[in-house]
Amino acid sequence: MLSAQLNSRTSRRLCSLCRVLLWAKKRSWELPGGWKAYSQANKPDPSNQADKMSHLKNRAEKQKRQRERMESIEARLAAGYKKELPRQTRTLALKSEVLYDIPTIVGEKKDTSGPLPNSYSPRYTEAAWYAWWVKEGFFKPEYQHQLPHQKSEVFSLSIPPPNVTGSLHLGHALTVAIEDAVVRWKRMEGYKVLWVPGSDHAGIATQAVVERKIWKEQRALRQDLTRQEFLQEVWNWKEEKGNEILQQLKVMGVSLDWDRACFTMDSAFSRAVAEAFVRLHEEGLIYRDRQLVNWSCALQSAISDIEVENRQLEGRTELSVPGVPGKVPFGLLVTFAYKVYGKEGEELPVATTRPETMLGDVAVAVHPDDLRYTHLHGKKLHHPFTGQLLPIITDPSVERDMGTGAVKITPAHSHIDYELARRHGLPVVSVIAEDGTMTARCGEWLQGQNRFLAREKVLAALKERGLYRGVKEHPLVLPLCSRSGDVIENLLKSQWFVRCEAMARKALDAVESRQLKLVPEFHEKNWNTWLLKISDWCISRQLWWGHQIPAYRVTILNSLDTMKEESDGLWIVGRTEAEARKKAAGMLGKSEEDLKLVRDEDVLDTWFSSALFPFASLGWPHQTGDLQQFYPNSLLETGSDLLFFWVARMVMLGEQLTGKLPFSQVFLHPMVRDSHGRKMSKSLGNVIDPLDIIHGASLQALQEKLQNSDLDPKEVAIAMEDQHQAFPEGIPECGTDALRFALCSYSTQGDSINLDVATVENASRFCNKVWNALKFTLAALGEGFTPLAPEELFPSSPMDRWILSRLYHTAQDCAQSFEKFELHVVATAVHLFWLHDFCSVYMESIKPILYTGDPARLLSTRQTLYSCADLALRLLSPFMPYLTEELWQRLPKVDSASPPSICVARYPNTEHLAHWSHPEEEANFLLVQEVIKAVRNLRSKYQLTKARPTVYVVCPELAARDVYENYQEPLQTLCFAGSLRFLVDSETAEVPVGCVATKANDHTNIYMDLQGLVDPSKELLKLRSQQQKLEQQLTGLTIRVQGDRYQEQVSLKAKSHLQQKISYLHSELGQIKQAIETFQKMAAR
pLDDT tens string 553-581: 999 987 765 444 444 589 999 999 999 99
pLDDT at 1044: 78
Report the C-alpha gap between 357 and 414 in whole angstroms: 10
User: Is the pLDDT reported for residue 88 higher than 80?
Assistant: no
User: Is the pLDDT reported for residue 144 higher than 50?
Assistant: yes
How many C-beta atoms lie closer than 10 Å to residue 68's C-beta? 10
**Taking residues 98-111, what's their average pLDDT?**
94
Question: Hey, which residues does 954 pair with through a beta bridge?
Answer: 983, 1005
Angle at 629 between CA 134 and CA 274, to 5 degrees: 95
**Taking residues 55-62, what's their average pLDDT?**
50
Q: Helices 129-136 and 881-888: crossing angle, nearest 10°?
A: 80
Burial of 1069 (0-12, 13-18, 19+ CB in 10 A): middle
Instruction: Decide the pairing of beta strands 328-330 and 332-340.
Output: unpaired
Burial of 482 (0-12, 13-18, 19+ CB in 10 A): middle
Give residue 44's pLDDT band: very low, low, confident or very high (50, 70, 90). very low
pLDDT at 600: 96
pLDDT at 47: 40
User: Is the pLDDT reported for residue 985 higher than 90?
Assistant: no
Give residue 387's pLDDT band: very low, low, confident or very high (50, 70, 90). very high
pLDDT at 75: 54
- Find how far residue 433's CA is from the centre of its chain: 38
Report the C-alpha gap between 43 and 36 in whole angstroms: 8
pTM of the model: 0.84
**Taking residues 1056-1064, what's their average pLDDT?**
91
How many C-beta atoms lie closer than 10 Å to residue 97's C-beta? 12
Dihedral, CA atoms, 566, 572, 575, 576, nearest 10 degrees?
-80
Give the residue with greater pLDDT, 749 vs 74: 749
Q: What is the DSSP string of 2-48?
A: GGGG--HHHHHHS-HHHHHHHHHTT--TTPPS-----SSSSPPPHHH
User: Is the pLDDT reported for residue 321 higher than 60?
Assistant: yes
Q: Residue 38: which of 600, 374, 415, 447 has the closest Cα?
A: 415
pLDDT at 427: 95
pLDDT at 303: 86
How many C-beta atoms lie closer than 10 Å to residue 651's C-beta? 27
- Find how far residue 1025's CA is from the centre of its chain: 53
pLDDT at 10: 35
- Highest mean pLDDT (candidates 93-107, 666-680, 687-701): 687-701
Question: Hey, which residues does 999 pair with through a beta bridge?
Answer: 1005
How many C-beta atoms lie closer than 10 Å to residue 802's C-beta? 26
pLDDT at 56: 44
Give residue 916's pLDDT band: very low, low, confident or very high (50, 70, 90). very high
- Highest mean pLDDT (candidates 21-35, 128-142, 476-490, 748-762): 128-142
Burial of 348 (0-12, 13-18, 19+ CB in 10 A): buried
What type of residue is 321? V
Instruction: Decide the pairing of beta strands 198-199 and 192-196.
Output: unpaired
User: Is the pLDDT reported for residue 657 higher than 70?
Assistant: yes
| Helix (H), strand (E), coil (C) string for 349-364 | EEEECCHHHHHHCCEE
How many C-beta atoms lie closer than 10 Å to residue 379's C-beta? 18
Give residue 1043's pLDDT band: very low, low, confident or very high (50, 70, 90). confident
Q: What is the DSSP string of 897-965?
A: TS-SSGGGSPPP-TTTSGGG--HHHHHHHHHHHHHHHHHHHHHHHTT-SS---EEEEE---HHHHHHHH
Q: Quick one: how many helices (H) and strands (E) in the chain?
A: 36, 33
Whether the Cβ atoms of residue 763 and residue 741 lie closer than 8 Å to each other: yes
Whether the Cβ atoms of residue 974 and residue 836 lie closer than 8 Å to each other: no
How many residues are recorded in the chain? 1085
Burial of 1013 (0-12, 13-18, 19+ CB in 10 A): middle
pLDDT at 51: 42
Instruction: Decide the pairing of beta strands 665-669 and 636-639.
Output: parallel
Bond prior to 115 in cis (omega within 30° of 0)? no
**Taking residues 910-918, what's their average pLDDT?**
94
pLDDT at 89: 39
Report the C-alpha gap between 758 and 233 in whole angstroms: 44
pLDDT at 61: 57
Report the C-alpha gap between 683 and 695 in whole angstroms: 23
Whether the Cβ atoms of residue 367 and residue 392 lie closer than 8 Å to each other: no
Instruction: Decide the pairing of beta strands 603-604 and 468-473.
Output: unpaired
Burial of 224 (0-12, 13-18, 19+ CB in 10 A): middle
What type of residue is 497? F
The pLDDT > 70 percentage for the chain reads 89
**Taking residues 644-668, what's their average pLDDT?**
97
For the chain, the helix, strand and coil percentages under 3-state DSSP, each to the nearest 5 = 50, 15, 35
- Highest mean pLDDT (candidates 132-136, 168-172, 292-296): 132-136
User: Is the pLDDT reported for residue 80 higher than 90?
Assistant: no
Compute φ and ψ for 87, nearest 5 degrees.
-80, 130
Q: Helices 757-781 and 855-876: crossing angle, nearest 10°?
A: 150
Question: Hey, which residues does 198 pair with through a beta bridge?
Answer: 262
Whether the Cβ atoms of residue 659 and residue 627 lie closer than 8 Å to each other: no
Report the C-alpha gap between 723 and 684 in whole angstroms: 8
Give residue 330's pLDDT band: very low, low, confident or very high (50, 70, 90). very high
Whether the Cβ atoms of residue 665 and residue 519 lie closer than 8 Å to each other: yes
pLDDT at 679: 78
pLDDT at 95: 52
pLDDT tens string 516-561: 999 999 999 999 999 999 999 999 999 999 999 999 999 998 776 5
Give residue 605's pLDDT band: very low, low, confident or very high (50, 70, 90). very high
Dihedral, CA atoms, 183, 185, 187, 191, nearest 10 degrees?
-100
Burial of 1029 (0-12, 13-18, 19+ CB in 10 A): exposed
Q: What is the DSSP string of 442-493?
A: G-TTTTT-BHHHHHHHHHHHHHHTT-EEEEEE--EEEEEETTT-PBPEEEEE
pLDDT at 91: 43
Whether the Cβ atoms of residue 836 and residue 829 lie closer than 8 Å to each other: no
Report the C-alpha gap between 448 and 722 in whole angstroms: 43
Give residue 673's pLDDT band: very low, low, confident or very high (50, 70, 90). confident
Give the residue with greater pLDDT, 1032 vs 17: 1032
H helix or E strand, kind and range, residue 284: none
How many C-beta atoms lie closer than 10 Å to residue 792's C-beta? 10
Report the C-alpha gap between 110 and 886 in whole angstroms: 9
Instruction: Tell me the C-alpha to C-alpha distance, in Å, between residue 306 and each of 479, 481, 643, 753.
Output: 11, 10, 11, 24
Q: What is the DSSP string of 1010-1076?
A: -TTTS-HHHHHHHHHHHHHHHHHHHHHHHHHHTSTTHHHHS-HHHHHHHHHHHHHHHHHHHHHHHHH
**Taking residues 622-651, what's their average pLDDT?**
95
What is the chain's Cα-based Rg? 37
Least confident of 64-73, 179-188, 392-401, 796-805: 64-73
Provide the mean pLDDT of the chain.
88
Compute φ and ψ for 776, nearest 5 degrees.
-60, -45
**Taking residues 824-840, what's their average pLDDT?**
97
Instruction: For residue 429, give the DSSP letter.
Output: -
**Taking residues 1015-1026, what's their average pLDDT?**
91
Report the C-alpha gap between 163 and 744 in whole angstroms: 23
Report the C-alpha gap between 770 and 116 in whole angstroms: 12
Least confident of 34-48, 735-749, 878-892: 34-48
pLDDT at 209: 87
Q: In the chain, how long is the greatest CA-to-CA distance? A: 126
pLDDT at 716: 82
